[in-house]
């Protein structure tokens, strides 16, 4: 399958640069994946696509303010690093820029020495292993000094860090937000619960692979970066019960979907308490074992994300829906509008 099969024309002005003040004020395109029918509404109308006994699965990862600006202690040269994931203790894998200035033994200072990072090893493509030194609690220091690692197509900094977090964000560890969840408010979640919708959580710490472009012509040759996931025993029991009682599992975002499909794939369609690293790459044709519905934002052309939803709803159906979204001036990407595929 060729990467160009997932291309479409997107006017640059439809890329949302800032979030709406009201999270749930975004628009919603509802797509029936069986017959291709579409409905235009608002995100608060999403309730009408649920029924009693359905289960909504949310990714409760919390985005780290993972972008740090500092300077080399020996020369004062400016350096930027982006935290990718914790390897052990105070050791982290990071992306450094400019990487050529960061050699083994280099010390970088942030916030006038409140935080320092010593380069302990080199990785590919600007990756480095660093050891942080600080006083107090690392995440509190990071919250004070770090910036939110917004996607490269977002040109403005956020005035409020929390606007790039879901209202249910809990588990620290992501380099990016699970953006489909940004539309939900606590009020809307409570209204779904009152309807008899079961709400449960998984964790997948989103890595920068989310923004990594596909650089090969043949889709099958692309390699995904591995990301850490966790499912609790409670969530596994809920999901198995929903399946047994013929309820629908509706996933919020591609990150939740990849976690659910990884676990179901590894356990013959069942859910178990599990943790690990997944590099699952979902593209057509793919037989979904876990989910019955998907809530997602509008994605980049030729991205692994549009490949995943094209596997769920048929590529031609998805591209037709995207043409409709462009025609009706929907807002695209992280701070954009949403669609539900069911």
Residue 328 included in any domain: yes
Is there a contact between 312 and 261 (Cβ–Cβ < 8 Å)?
Answer: no
Claim to verify: residue 166 and residue 104 sit in the same structural domain? no
Residue 155 included in any domain: no
Claim to verify: residue 138 and residue 255 sit in the same structural domain? no
pLDDT in tens, the chain (342 residues): 999 999 999 999 999 998 888 999 999 999 999 999 999 999 999 999 999 999 999 999 999 999 999 999 999 999 999 998 888 999 999 999 999 989 999 999 999 999 999 999 998 778 899 999 999 999 999 999 999 887 777 777 776 778 899 999 999 999 889 999 999 999 999 999 999 999 999 999 998 766 567 889 999 999 898 899 999 999 999 999 999 999 999 999 999 999 999 999 999 999 999 999 999 999 999 999 999 999 999 999 999 999 999 999 999 999 999 999 999 999 999 999 999 999
State the pLDDT at residue 314. 93
17: which strand partners? none
Reported pTM: 0.90
274: which strand partners? 231
58 phi/psi in degrees, rounded to 5: -115, 145
Claim to verify: residue 54 and residue 119 sit in the same structural domain? no
Whole-angstrom Cα distance, residue 224 to residue 230? 18
Is there a contact between 211 and 176 (Cβ–Cβ < 8 Å)?
Answer: yes
135: which strand partners? none
Claim to verify: residue 216 and residue 249 sit in the same structural domain? yes
Is there a contact between 279 and 223 (Cβ–Cβ < 8 Å)?
Answer: yes
Is there a contact between 108 and 91 (Cβ–Cβ < 8 Å)?
Answer: no
Whole-angstrom Cα distance, residue 178 to residue 187? 19
Residue 188 included in any domain: yes
Claim to verify: residue 266 and residue 287 sit in the same structural domain? yes
Is there a contact between 242 and 55 (Cβ–Cβ < 8 Å)?
Answer: yes
Identify the CATH number of the domain in which residue 284 sits: 3.40.1780.10
Domain boundary among 147, 180, 206: 147
State the pLDDT at residue 126. 81
Domain boundary among 102, 119, 147: 147
Claim to verify: residue 217 and residue 325 sit in the same structural domain? yes
Claim to verify: residue 128 and residue 13 sit in the same structural domain? no
User: Would you list the DSSP string of 158-176?
Assistant: -S-GGGGS-TT--EEEESS
User: What's the number of domains the chain is made of?
Assistant: 2
Distance of CA 148 to the CA centre of its chain: 14
Residue 271 included in any domain: yes
Identify the CATH number of the domain in which residue 139 sits: 2.40.10.240
Residue 153 included in any domain: no
Residue 266 included in any domain: yes
Claim to verify: residue 258 and residue 284 sit in the same structural domain? yes
Claim to verify: residue 78 and residue 132 sit in the same structural domain? yes
Claim to verify: residue 287 and residue 201 sit in the same structural domain? yes
115 phi/psi in degrees, rounded to 5: -140, 135
Domain boundary among 118, 147, 176: 147
Claim to verify: residue 255 and residue 325 sit in the same structural domain? yes
Residue 152 included in any domain: no
User: Would you list the DSSP string of 232-293?
Assistant: -HHHHHHHHHHHHTT--EEEEHHHHHHHHHHHHHHTTT----EEEEE-----SS---SS-SE
State which residues form the domain around 31: 3-63+160-341
Claim to verify: residue 96 and residue 215 sit in the same structural domain? no
């Amino acid at each position: 399958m060729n990467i160009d099969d997932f291309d479409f024309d997107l006017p640059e002005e439809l890329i949302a640069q800032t979030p709406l003040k009201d999270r749930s004020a975004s628009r919603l395109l509802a797509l029936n994946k069986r017959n291709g029918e579409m409905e235009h509404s608002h995100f608060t109308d999403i309730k009408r696509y649920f029924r009693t006994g359905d289960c909504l699965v949310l990714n409760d990862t919390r985005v780290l303010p993972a972008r740090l600006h500092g300077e080399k202690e020996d020369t004062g040269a400016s350096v930027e690093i982006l935290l990718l994931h914790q390897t052990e203790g105070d050791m982290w894998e990071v992306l450094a820029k400019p990487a050529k200035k960061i050699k083994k033994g280099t010390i970088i200072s942030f916030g006038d020495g409140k935080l320092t990072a010593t380069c302990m090893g080199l990785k590919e493509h600007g990756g480095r292993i660093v050891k942080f030194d600080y006083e107090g609690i690392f995440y509190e220091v990071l919250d004070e000094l770090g910036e939110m690692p917004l996607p490269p197509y977002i040109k403005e900094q956020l005035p409020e860090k929390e606007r790039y977090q879901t209202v249910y964000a809990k588990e620290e560890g992501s380099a990016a937000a699970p953006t489909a969840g940004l539309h939900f408010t606590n009020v809307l979640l409570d209204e779904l619960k009152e309807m008899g919708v079961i709400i449960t959580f998984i964790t997948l710490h989103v890595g920068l692979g989310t923004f990594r472009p596909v650089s090969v012509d043949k889709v099958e040759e692309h390699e995904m970066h591995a990301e850490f996931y966790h499912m609790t025993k409670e969530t596994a029991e809920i999901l198995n019960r929903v399946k047994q009682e013929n309820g629908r599992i509706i996933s919020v975002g591609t990150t939740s979907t990849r976690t659910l499909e990884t676990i179901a794939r590894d356990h013959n369609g069942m859910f178990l308490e599990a943790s690990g690293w997944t590099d699952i790459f979902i593209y057509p044709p793919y037989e979904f074992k876990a989910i019955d519905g998907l809530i997602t934002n509008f994605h980049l052309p030729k991205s692994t994300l549009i490949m995943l939803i094209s596997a769920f709803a048929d590529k031609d159906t998805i591209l037709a829906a995207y043409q409709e979204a462009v025609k009706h001036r929907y807002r695209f990407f992280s701070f954009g509008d949403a669609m539900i595929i069911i």
